[in-house]
């Protein structure tokens, strides 16, 4: 397993100036040897010029939030992270790798949730390379690795939870976004850690029922909402009726027998639970 080794390179500006002086000296030797007919000076000038040109290829620039991974004949020798102009052995292969924070959005995946309902789900993963050696050498293509592993984690997560919670206390994809996002980040991080990458954030960006069941699920949600509303209305109406009867008895407004109490309860419940306003009926005679 390759681990990053931070390497210090030679400052590029002094090295560039030194190579320019070396090239100028080689040119002078070549010129002077040609004028005097000194073969030794000509050879020295040619060799010096060639060495200067080869040495110039050792110059490289490192941009902010970028690293250069250095290898020598297939062997990893270190990584330069400090931005600027540097010089290193010309025979070193210098490969750039970005250390910037990057976003990746998965495709809209069609999977079955915990209840086997087909859903569409997509996520956004914010990630960053923290170990250049692992990212470069542990996987074939680290960007493609992020894509495949993120989509795999999203599929695994989607099959572990239902779209909607139909049991009290049950976690669902639609109602527990924060907890689900935290778990998704952990799932992706566990897969990307071996490749030298860190997941900064992961969250669900798209969540919907598959088109073939969307209408049926919408009717189910509407029915659930209506039932919940009706339940609340009935509970409130019963409480209000109970309070009304208790207040009448305590204040001694009127003495009601069981039949009149039943009639009053029936009328109040119909009035309080009805969707349309009730029209009052004035009774001018006895109810018996």
Q: What is the pLDDT of residues 12-65, one digit of tens each?
A: 889 989 988 988 888 888 887 877 877 888 888 888 888 889 999 899 999 999
In this prediction, residues 231-243 reach a mean pLDDT of: 82
Ranked by mean pLDDT, which of 109-113, 124-128, 137-141, 220-224 comes out on top? 124-128
Q: What is the pLDDT of residues 244-259, one digit of tens each?
A: 777 877 777 777 767 7
In this prediction, residues 76-103 reach a mean pLDDT of: 92
What integer pLDDT is reported at residue 62 of this predicted model?
92
Q: Is the dihedral of CA 28, 30, 34, 38 positive or negative?
A: positive
Band (282; pLDDT cuts 50, 70, 90): low
In the chain, % of residues over pLDDT 70: 90
d(CA 36, CA 22): 21
Query: Smallest Cα–Cα separation from 98: which of 86, 114, 111, 81?
Result: 81
d(CA 23, CA 49): 5
Measured CA distances, 22 to 9, 40, 56 (Å): 20, 17, 11
Query: Smallest Cα–Cα separation from 5: which of 131, 137, 141?
Result: 131
| Averaged pLDDT score across all residues of the chain | 84
- pLDDT at residue 286 is higher than 60: no
**Contact between residue 113 and residue 60 where contact means Cβ atoms under 8 Å apart:** no
Q: Is the dihedral of CA 15, 18, 23, 24 positive or negative?
A: positive
Measured CA distances, 269 to 232, 255, 265 (Å): 13, 20, 6
d(CA 136, CA 84): 22
Measured CA distances, 187 to 119, 125, 172, 182, 199 (Å): 20, 11, 17, 9, 10
**Residue 217 burial (CB < 10 Å; 0-12/13-18/19+)?**
middle
**Contact between residue 56 and residue 82 where contact means Cβ atoms under 8 Å apart:** no
What number of helices (H) and strands (E) belong to the chain?
A: 7, 10
Q: What are the φ and ψ backbone dihedral angles of 23, each rounded to 5 degrees?
A: -65, -40
d(CA 86, CA 138): 26
d(CA 105, CA 135): 20
What integer pLDDT is reported at residue 284 of this predicted model?
56
What secondary structure does DSSP assign to 131-169, as a single string? Answer: -HHHHHHTSS-HHHHHHHHHHHHHHHHHTTS-SS--STT
Q: What is the pLDDT of residues 154-180, one digit of tens each?
A: 999 989 888 887 677 788 888 888 888
**Cα angle, residue 59 at apex, residues 54 and 60 outer, rounded to 5°:** 140
d(CA 10, CA 156): 48
d(CA 89, CA 6): 16
Domain ranges of the chain: 10-96, 102-209, 214-273
Global pTM value: 0.68
* Homologous superfamily in CATH for domain 102-209: Band 7 domain (3.30.479.30)
Band (1; pLDDT cuts 50, 70, 90): low
């Amino acid at each position: 397993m390759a681990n990053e080794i931070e390497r210090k390179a030679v400052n590029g500006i002094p090295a560039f100036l030194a190579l320019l002086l070396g090239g100028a000296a080689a040119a002078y030797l070549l010129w002077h040897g040609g004028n005097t007919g000194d073969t030794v000076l000509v050879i020295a000038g040619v060799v010096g010029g060639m060495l200067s040109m080869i040495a110039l290829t050792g110059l490289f620039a490192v941009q902010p939030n970028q690293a250069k991974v250095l290898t020598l004949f297939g062997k990893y020798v270190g990584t330069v992270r400090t931005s600027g102009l540097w010089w290193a052995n010309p025979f070193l292969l210098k490969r750039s790798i970005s250390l910037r924070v990057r976003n990746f959005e998965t495709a809209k995946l069609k999977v079955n949730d915990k209840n086997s309902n087909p859903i569409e789900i997509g996520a956004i993963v914010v990630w960053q390379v923290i170990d250049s050696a692992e990212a470069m050498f542990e996987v074939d293509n680290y960007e493609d690795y992020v894509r495949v592993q993120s989509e795999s984690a999203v599929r695994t997560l989607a099959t572990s939870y239902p779209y909607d919670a139909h049991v009290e206390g049950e976690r669902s994809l639609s109602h527990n976004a924060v907890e689900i996002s935290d778990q998704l980040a952990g799932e992706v991080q566990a897969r990307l850690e071996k490749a030298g990458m860190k997941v900064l954030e992961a969250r669900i960006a798209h969540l919907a029922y598959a088109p073939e069941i969307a209408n049926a699920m919408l009717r189910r949600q509407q029915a659930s909402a209506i039932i919940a509303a009706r339940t609340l209305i009935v509970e409130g109406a019963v409480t209000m009726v109970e309070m009304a009867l208790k207040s009448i008895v305590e204040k001694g407004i009127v003495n009601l027998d069981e039949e009149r109490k039943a009639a009053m309860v029936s009328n109040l419940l119909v009035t309080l639970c009805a969707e349309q306003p009730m029209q009052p009926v004035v009774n001018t005679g006895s109810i018996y």
